[in-house]
Every structure is written in structure tokens, then in C-alpha cells.
Homo-oligomer: A and B are copies of this chain.
């Protein structure tokens, strides 16, 4: 595995691959790799002749007061894990390489996709994501890029910009990887105290409750949201940021749950923000 930190070098490598008609698969990450990332990397390894993983804690997608500074950084462990998965190139540029002082451009996915859910609670977050992804796609020129379902809204935003800007990159989503007790794998789980960690699986339990309600015919979003809220309220340290049911394609609200429904939750457990979601197909339901 080759580790690349400059734009010049990643361009050279990618240009040579493309000339030799190699297809390129890409997994962009913030590092602190966990089993969720490894699932993406393994799928990407099968999906292209060459595989690039990027590790970049992108300052533009963290808001003021968020956890940019303390976000876990484990470059040596990440490199070891990536090499074991036969990653061809690990691209880990510095912030000054990606954002020189006169940098002044943003990629903005507009309207519904970025205004709701995490977009409402983290203003500027998806603009930061869209901007860095557009840059990385131009540098890596992948035919396929892989994202996890835990960040479902991010997947939709990236899919939108990849199509709209004619990047030629197909966006693939893979299911959320979970701990044995259901907690979605996340680099931020490392922040949890033992007590918070014990409480955290309630998020997925509440989502499974919602899924069960939909599967037995509940079509009223208020009922579903209320049941999720009730389950989360049982955790004394948990603060709900949002509980929502949405059209899975457009993130629009639904008066009657139908089609593929996204049930999404964001909570705070102490200082740690956790998100999770399930997709439920109720198109053939009662």
C-alpha cells in the first residue's frame, strides 16, 4: 500500500491507472477506521481494479463548538488496517493541502435534502461534506464510491451532487454495521463513558420498535415517532435531537407512511451526538 499526502502525487497515480484502463473504487473516510469502514473497504476492493481510501478530518464539515479538535485520529492503526485490506493507495492530505488560504468555493446541495434532519441541527455540515467530496472525486476520479447507511442523509446528498456535477461516479450505500447489542459502529462511540455506552443501544432498539410497528401496519407517523420517543425517554441521560419519519428518496415528511420510509434518530448522550436510522419498505404493507 502506498500512502499519498499531496494533490500532485494522487493525480499522478490516478492518471496512470486511468490510462491503463483500470477502474477505481473509492472509500472516503474521516479515519479512526472501524468495522463499518472495513465493510465499505471490502466491498470497494471487489468493485474496482484499484482501491483508494482517503483519511481526512475535514474541518469544513464541523460546525463551531463541534468535535473537530477531539475527533479521534489514529493514523498508524488506520494505515495498518487499510494495508491488511489490500488498499492500493491511502490518501491522507493535510488541511492546508485541501484548503489553501485563498480557498473560496462551496458546493451546495439545496432545498429539502440538506435543510432537514442533521442539516437543520448542523448548519453548514452538508455544504462541507459536498465540497470535500467534490474535490476528492476530482482528485481520485473513481467509478464507484462507497458510503454507509448510518449517514443516510449524507449518502443522499453525495448521490445528488455526484449526479448533478456529472462526476461519473456511482454512489453505493452499504448497511450499517453494528455492535452485538445493536449500537451502530461509529468513531464517536469512543467518546462514550461506560454508563453512556450501556444506554446507547436504546437508539437502535427504538428504531426496531418503529420498524415493527410499520411492519404490522401502523401508517401514522405521529404514533411511530411517539413510540420511539417513549423508548428513548426511558434512558435518563439521553436527550433527543430529532426523531423523524421521511420519504427515503426525498426526505419529505409523510402524512401517511408509505413506500420506503426512513426512520431517523439523533440523540445526545452526555457530550456525544449519536445518529442512526432504519429503512422500512411498506409499499406492500396493509
| A165: B residues at CB distance < 8 A | 105, 107, 134-135, 138
Set of chain B residues within 8 Å of A139, measured between Cβ atoms: 166
The segment from A108-116, A197-205, A209-217, A278-286 that touches chain B is A108-116
A218 to chain B, nearest CB (A): 29
Q: Is A18 an interface residue (CB 8 A)?
A: yes
Residues of chain A from 99 to 144 with CB closer than 8 A to chain B in the complex: 102-111, 113, 130, 134-135, 138-139
Q: Which residues of B contact A21 (CB under 8 A)?
A: 19
- A173 part of interface (Cβ distance < 8 Å): no
Distance (Å) between the CB of A279 and the closest chain B CB? 19
Complex: A45 Cα to B80 Cα, angstroms:
48
Contact residue among B18, B105, B160 (Cβ-Cβ distance under 8 Å from A109): B105
Decide if A109 touches B113 in the complex (CB within 8 Å). Answer: no
Q: Are B104 and A106 touching (Cβ within 8 A)?
A: no
Copies in the complex: 2
Q: What's the Cα separation between A135 and B168 when bound, in Å?
A: 11
Partner among B102, B103, B130 whose Cβ is within 8 Å of the Cβ of A105: B130
Indicate whether A172 reaches chain B with its CB closer than 8 angstroms: no
- Least Cβ–Cβ distance between A57 and chain B, in angstroms: 18
* A110: B residues at CB distance < 8 A: 104-106
* A104-B18 CB under 8 A given contacts A138-B168, A165-B135: no
A23 to chain B, nearest CB (A): 12
Residue A193 at the B interface, CB < 8 A?
no
Q: Are B105 and A106 in contact (CB under 8 A)?
A: no
Contacts of A111 in B (CB 8 A): 104
A104 CB contact (under 8 Å) in B11, B102, B109, B135? B109
- In angstroms, how far is the closest chain B Cβ from the Cβ of A167? 6
Of A19, A161, A166, which is in contact with the most chain B CB atoms at under 10 Å from its CB? A166
**Interchain nearest-CB distance for A12 vs B (Å):** 11
A159-175 interface with B by 8 A CB criterion: 160-161, 164-168
Interface string of A3-36 (1 = CB under 8 A from B): 0000100010000001101000000000000000
